[in-house]
Structure 1
């Protein structure tokens, strides 16, 4: 299952990049494709360097020292050893909403942020399951992958919007003799420009869901027990609709449970259905007696 999710993520990222390049080609031909590719590389580098700082700043996270939060630091340190990654920096978000996220472009620059609400809601074992899930994200470089996907999807939307308006304005200035063909070309182009951002968003959400499944599985393996994380997810899902969190849509995909509750279809969800995640973890525990 882990290999399949990794392979699927690679295919989806390739598809998202390809869609971006195709949009560039429609806008400016071969030169437009080259510009789009260069733009994609530049955005990915920006996401690689700055996504962690932006996520922590936007969430209002505050770094805490081992003296301020000794038990939390000890837990993160012990689980980092089991995950075989450097101990990430530890942050706390002052909010009653129970949640957590990880960020960092690679394991050497990782950070884990938990809310004050999650420390009050979960047992020690359940919190360890959540921390292990976040460490799995860091180990798999998921925040980098998610940032790249979000950057490319956003660029697809921006370029498609530019291309659509360009085509509309150019059609108004065309000769009357070319009106019929120009209108048909404009209609097909506008249709493509409308569908491309939707396709980009669907691919981005699919990547995000795949990485959540991987982090659930990886976190269970780090902890050596799948059931505490399953129990934690059950509590966090229950609390998500009862204690609203002021979170930015730009960072909502990072949290273990999406803090923005809404009636979106499965294609547009940043996270898999929590019930499915819990079922997979419990099935994982039942298959492995050491995790039961």
Structure 2
């Protein structure tokens, strides 16, 4: 997706936020909404990583606390020509990962312990390379800003249902306008959010496959994570659905209303890339960093820093 298209879609989200403010508060409401949107964007620019990481109770790790996981990310960052990002772990059984930060110099990547214990080393490398692909493509700031504004639109729409007043002369018309606004605005925000996120996922898959050098390992990881995401609840996404676009796979819902392309389509694109490059299929046995013969079983992995049995 071109930078100009992204700017246009972000502008559309801001305009939608202002329109909702105008519907609920007139011209004054529109001005307040514009100021709030500008303030949110400025705050998000400087604090995007802190917002997302604190939301997930992520803890930073280093070469001593998680040597193999940290070393894997370090090697991939070097291959991608990126500065070393901060590395985080989330102690959750839900298998997923994300990247955040305003630019490559201030980036962070995170993975759940559920993901590390589920995948082989090659698959974990594919997933973290995908996240570094987002960093390399400078997607992380945009995705966090979009999630922030879309969440604010939904919140303002909910407030509008309870706090919108109207004058006696136009009361009925105002009530109808308010109902339309609070129904249409979140749906429109979701459409814009999907337009931004879906193309960026394909781009990160391609970049991740190039960084890791193994498109089929990433394809295999996507299949496993998708199955796990459907079975294991994600409490953060349940509390804040706008955060769903940050993850490598969607946490629920049909393709029509998902911020991600269908996992099957992403896998097909990666398989096509592997066919063009002649990449070998991933081995069914576990790698040196993941000695579990059947990755879906919840035994300890060498990448699992908790060493759970």
TM-score range, shorter chain: 0.7 to 0.9
**Corresponding residue SS for 1:91:** strand
Q: Which residue of 1 aligns with 2:227?
A: 238
CA shift in 2, pair 1:149/1:235, >3 Å? same
* Higher deviation after alignment, 149-158 or 70-79: 149-158
TM-score (norm 1): 0.83
Q: Which residue of 1 aligns with 2:245?
A: 253
| Distance in 2 between residues matched to 1:34 and 1:243, nearest whole Å | 43
Q: Which residue of 1 aligns with 2:154?
A: 157
TM-score (norm 2): 0.79
Shift of 1:164: 5.6
Q: Which residue of 1 aligns with 2:307?
A: none
Equivalent pair of 1:58/1:248 in contact (CA under 8 Å): no
Q: Which residue of 2 aligns with 1:289?
A: 277
- Superposed, which structure 2 residues align to 1:119-158 within 5 Å? 119-158=116-155
CA shift in 2, pair 1:122/1:29, >3 Å? same
Q: Which residue of 1 aligns with 2:83?
A: 86
Q: Which residue of 2 aligns with 1:271?
A: 260
Q: Are 1:113 and 2:105 an aligned pair? A: no
| Distance in 2 between residues matched to 1:37 and 1:244, nearest whole Å | 36
Q: Are 1:73 and 2:73 an aligned pair? A: no
Query: 1:50-86: CA deviations, max 9, x gaps?
Result: 2322322232322112022222222211211222221
| Distance in 1 between residues matched to 2:231 and 2:133, nearest whole Å | 28
| Distance in 1 between residues matched to 2:163 and 2:93, nearest whole Å | 47
Question: Which structure dedicates a bigger proportion of its chain to helix?
Answer: 1
Match among 37, 47, 51 for residue 50 of structure 1: 47
The CA RMSD measured in Å over matched residues stands at: 2.6
Query: 1:199-239: CA deviations, max 9, x gaps?
Result: 11222233222322221122112223322111111111122
| Distance in 1 between residues matched to 2:120 and 2:43, nearest whole Å | 38
Unaligned runs of at least 5 residues, structure 1: none
Equivalent residues, number: 277
**Corresponding residue SS for 1:148:** helix
| Distance in 1 between residues matched to 2:116 and 2:264, nearest whole Å | 22
Q: Which residue of 1 aligns with 2:14?
A: 17
**Corresponding residue SS for 1:257:** coil
* Higher deviation after alignment, 48-57 or 106-115: 48-57
Shift of 1:8: 4.7
CA shift in 2, pair 1:244/1:154, >3 Å? closer
**Corresponding residue SS for 1:279:** helix
Equivalent pair of 2:130/2:205 in contact (CA under 8 Å): yes
| Distance in 2 between residues matched to 1:281 and 1:256, nearest whole Å | 14
CA shift in 2, pair 1:120/1:155, >3 Å? closer
Query: 1:83-116: CA deviations, max 9, x gaps?
Result: 2221111112223333222222221121111222
| Distance in 2 between residues matched to 1:124 and 1:275, nearest whole Å | 22
Equivalent pair of 1:205/1:267 in contact (CA under 8 Å): no
Equivalent pair of 1:225/1:290 in contact (CA under 8 Å): no
Q: Are 1:63 and 2:51 an aligned pair? A: no
**Corresponding residue SS for 2:231:** coil
**Corresponding residue SS for 2:235:** coil
Shift of 1:28: 4.8
